[in-house]
Structure 1
Amino acid sequence: MKHRTVALLVIVLTIGLFACGAKEPLAENGTVTVQEEQSDGLSPEPQAGSSNVVSVVTTAQVGDKIEASVTPPNPETESSSDSSLSALSLLSTPLVAVNDYWGVQPFSTRENELGIQFHNGFDYFTEYEEVALQAISPGRVMFVEIFERPPDGAFQINLAWQTPTGEVISYSLEPSAGPADAAKIAEQKVLAEKMMESMTVQSGDSVSQGQFLGYLYGQDEWAHVHMTLKTNNRGSEQWLCPADFMSEIDESDLLIKSKVWADRLYKGSKKPELCNY
């Protein structure tokens, strides 16, 4: 009996030892499994050395590079940009038919030597009730709108586009000039709506030089297109004389018709040029 008891104890101890040895690898495997599951997830707060911290630092470095890549204004580059204006070539008139206007009010700076009134562009006066219009340069349309002038409530159409070289050209289509009474303003509103309906372009459209744009509808012989040219669409307004960019200016009758306008306004006392500085 004693021998059997001892044998049974030996068997039990042996089984126990094997069982304990088998549990340790399971515990190690279990620990590894848990660690792998944790490594698949992101920590709720970035820890030092983690990928979250690295991504934040990298983003900051990219931001610094972007700021560093902003080139400060270069005087040589800015001065060379002025030379691009020579690439701008304008038609001599916004009217399709060159015989549709009888007079031209020229460009005049505020401190011009001749002492004539300031004028930031050209006015093309017509006595016709309907005049076809064209684009004097290519570009992209910025806006086309009916505009009511604040001083007297008169109505007109304002149209502008930006040229490929950056300058801005604008037309104001005005059925008449000077102050207007209530009856005249009421008629101008109707004419402005009619002009707006005739417009063939809208904001965002591309225009080509010589493209038909619509009609100016006039009330009297002082109906006109007020055309301006400025350097760009940024900063303070810097007006340019359109004649300086008209390649066929010598073949046109602009100077002759500007003298016709001057004679009517100044009775022959002043002889302005197309560009008066």
Structure 2
Amino acid sequence: MKHNQRYGDDIAVNCTQPELVPDSENAVESVPIIVEVRSVDKEYYLGKQSVNALLNISLIIHKGEFMALAGPSGSGKSTLLNLIGCIDTPTSGSILIEGLDISGKTPDELADLRLNTLGFVFQTFNLLPVLSAWENVEYPLLQQRDVDKKTRQDRVRHYLNMVGLEPYAHHRPNELSGGQRQRVAIARALATRPSIILADEPTANLDHKTGEGILRLMKDINQNEGTTFVFSTHDARVMEMAGRVIKLADGQLVV
């Protein structure tokens, strides 16, 4: 990876590889499926009243996509993201992650899947305030027993450098700007080498310029590293940059 180019709160990572998202039907068929959502419903109960958050959702996500789940508040996009992220479970239907049906998995099995296969970036950053940037990125790696100390340190250094924050490695979150904190969150998500990163409104708490820098950073990582990104968003900038936009309204896909 070439050195990052810094300007303000933005990062531009030099790209040397083409996008992995195919542009023809034949090419799509040859790209591995990383997530498959099959006829999923999600029903919640508010007291005695049932609420259908998702209705009959079927969706395929291929490896290397940069995809947005878009829709207004209450459309079901965050619910769908949480189901893909094994944070919640569907009422009916099934979800396959890298061919593995997650239905009926125990909480420990789902936790293991989240740790080793999925990475998360949240709009509120979700950093541990008592830990430095380095320690926040390192934290999930401490849960991976097969990662030794040297590998762990090499990964933390690599991903902090990738997001342009190695000089701030020992700063705590309250000593960083919003954009810097979001970049720490991205580095943390990448450190476990996940197959897919799920980002829930990652630009919502950032100003316009900083949000665009974060989007460019994630797009460049997608192109250079082949990491799959799926966003839930109502931000027009995210939708414009996405390779594919899936729109939802009232818990259903908009065709």
Question: Per residue, is there more strand in 1 or in 2?
Answer: 2
Larger Rg: 1
What TM-score do the two structures reach when normalised by structure 2?
0.25
What TM-score do the two structures reach when normalised by structure 1?
0.24
Structure number with greater CO (CA < 8 Å, separation at least 6) is 2
